Amino acid sequence: MTEHATRRTKTGLIAAGLALAFLGGCASVDEVAGPAFSGPTGTPIPAFANMKEGSEEDFIMNAGRRTYFRSGSAELDGTAKRTLDKQAAWLNQHPKWFIKLQGHADDPGNNGKLSTQRAENVMNYLVAKGVDPSRMWAKGYAKKRLVRDCPQLTCKSQNRRVVSNLREELEDHVIARRQVAQQ
């Protein structure tokens, strides 16, 4: 399944069908749901050109959903904190959204652990900035969803990230886990 195939939004459902048809279900990290756009370079993308305040496109364009990390580190640097400050302000203004924090790593060492730690650090920072923790959950993907795959820094720097993904509802396994925790 692609990221978009699992996204429970109207555009996501359309994208899911298209993505499955065209990509055969390979892992995707797309910012703009596929299939690939056509037309001359410079043609506006309609979903963004006509976006409404509070929409997912608004979040992607005006807050930005990727937070980057240095090699081997899950620490939030000054740039990461500025990104998350913008995300928190936006999320606090638009409380209808849930947020899945997807951690990724392409580093020396244990990428599973590091990617989870990155996602959790982002979540803790957003909580400190007033975002309700019940709206969020964190998951580490290790190296499963690389933006670019090569041994150089040009690739690895793109992969060392957390993507703040908007969702219209909690995932079932998150609800189940929380119910267990309450018992």
Partner 1 sequence: MRLSRRAFVAGTASAAALAATSPALAQGGQWYAGTAVDGSVTYRTTNFGVVDPRWKRQMVVYNSPEKPGTIVIDTRNHYLYWIWENNTALRYGVGVGKEGFKWYGRARVDRKVLWPRWVPPEAMRKRSPNLPKMVEGGSPKNPLGPRGIYLFANGQDTGYRIHGNTAPWSIGKDASSGCIRMFNEDVIDLYQRTPIGTEVLVLEHLGGQENEGVRMEVKES
Residues near partner 1, by CB under 8 A = 28-45, 48-49, 53, 57-58, 61-62, 64, 66, 68, 78-79, 82-83, 86, 147-148, 151-154, 156-158, 160
Nearer to partner 1, 38 or 182 (CB): 38
What does the alpha-carbon distance between residue 166 and residue 86 come to, in Å, rounded to a whole number? 15
Nearer to partner 1, 148 or 178 (CB): 148
What's the min distance (Å) between Cβ of 30 and partner 1? Answer: 4
Nearer to partner 1, 37 or 96 (CB): 37
What's the min distance (Å) between Cβ of 111 and partner 1? Answer: 17
Nearer to partner 1, 69 or 137 (CB): 69
CB 145 within 8 A of CB 27: yes
Tell me the Cα Rg of the chain: 16
Nearer to partner 1, 89 or 174 (CB): 89
Nearer to partner 1, 6 or 79 (CB): 79
What's the min distance (Å) between Cβ of 1 and partner 1? Answer: 16
What does the alpha-carbon distance between residue 152 and residue 14 come to, in Å, rounded to a whole number? 35
What's the min distance (Å) between Cβ of 142 and partner 1? Answer: 19
Angle, alpha carbons 77-56-6 (nearest 5°): 95
3-state secondary structure (DSSP) of residue 68: strand
What does the alpha-carbon distance between residue 57 and residue 62 come to, in Å, rounded to a whole number? 8
What's the min distance (Å) between Cβ of 119 and partner 1? Answer: 17
What's the min distance (Å) between Cβ of 24 and partner 1? Answer: 15
Return the H-helix or E-strand segment holding 66.
strand 66-68
| CB neighbourhood size of 150 (10 A) | 12
What does the alpha-carbon distance between residue 32 and residue 42 come to, in Å, rounded to a whole number? 15
